[in-house]
Amino acid sequence: MPYINAAAALQICVLLSALPAQYFISQWYGTDSAQRIQITERLIIASWSSFTKSYLNLDAWADRLQLWLSRTRNWYYREKKTNIGINEAETHSYFAESSYVRSPKPEYVKFSVGQVIVHKRFGYSGVIVGWDVKANAPEEWLQHKYPPAKQDLKDTPHYRILINKANGFGKSTAYIPEEEITIIVGLEVHHPDTKGYFSGYDGSKYIMQPWLKKIYPHD
């Protein structure tokens, strides 16, 4: 349906109301019929001229069509760009931060989100906030983390950890393979981001927030 702006709508109303307007014209300009007819004719001619230029002119309709196509094209590319942006964000969500749902959960992923861990080698504690079935990280990071002698570790489950501030460890997060951690119970983790991921601690593991539970429904 053609787009009609306020000005065009006003013109149409004026044209359609030209004859009823004669009554009011007669009240304003007296009872002289010749004068009323002259004023009414000028009103009708002016309105009709404006109407034909706007709605009975091929160039005007071509301009409207071009404007409509432009708006449609802009909307399409904006939506497409937004969807591409979302897909790219999912593709490049490294370190167990992707929001795709981990279901079903493979049996070889031993640990769960919310469990408290201790690093076997460095001794720090922390809580699991995400996992990947294998290392999902930029290639440069993987090459630095896993030299040729440790390449096999890239294909094992990896966990994103919020590191316990009470340990005084230099880092606040870690992304580590399954073989480097062990589970511990009865230990609370102090980290500024825990409330964003969990609603509480039941003594054995942290309780996931609803949004996180949707991503890890089997943990």
Per-residue confidence (pLDDT) for residue 73, from 0 to 100: 54
Per-residue confidence (pLDDT) for residue 181, from 0 to 100: 97
Tokens at residue 19, please? 């004859």
Helix/strand/coil for 125: strand
Tokens at residue 21, please? 């307007």
CATH code for position 129 = 2.30.30.390
The bridge status of strand 173-177 relative to strand 125-132 is unpaired
Per-residue confidence (pLDDT) for residue 170, from 0 to 100: 85
Of 103, 157, 101, 99, which is closest to residue 131 (Cα–Cα)? Answer: 157
Range of the domain at 155: 92-215
Is 209 domain-assigned?
A: yes
Residue 215 CB neighbours (<10 A): 17
Q: What CA–CA distance (Å, rounded) separates 197 from 203?
A: 16
Is 21 domain-assigned?
A: no
Is 33 domain-assigned?
A: no
Is 12 domain-assigned?
A: no
Helix/strand/coil for 155: helix
| pLDDT tens-place values along the chain, 219 residues long | 455 555 555 556 555 555 555 544 455 445 566 665 666 666 676 666 666 655 666 666 666 676 676 566 556 545 544 443 444 334 458 999 999 999 999 999 999 999 999 999 999 999 999 999 999 999 999 999 999 999 999 999 999 999 999 998 888 999 999 999 999 999 999 999 999 999 999 999 999 999 999 999 999
- Domain tally, the chain: 1
Is 205 domain-assigned?
A: yes
Is 143 domain-assigned?
A: yes
Per-residue confidence (pLDDT) for residue 168, from 0 to 100: 87
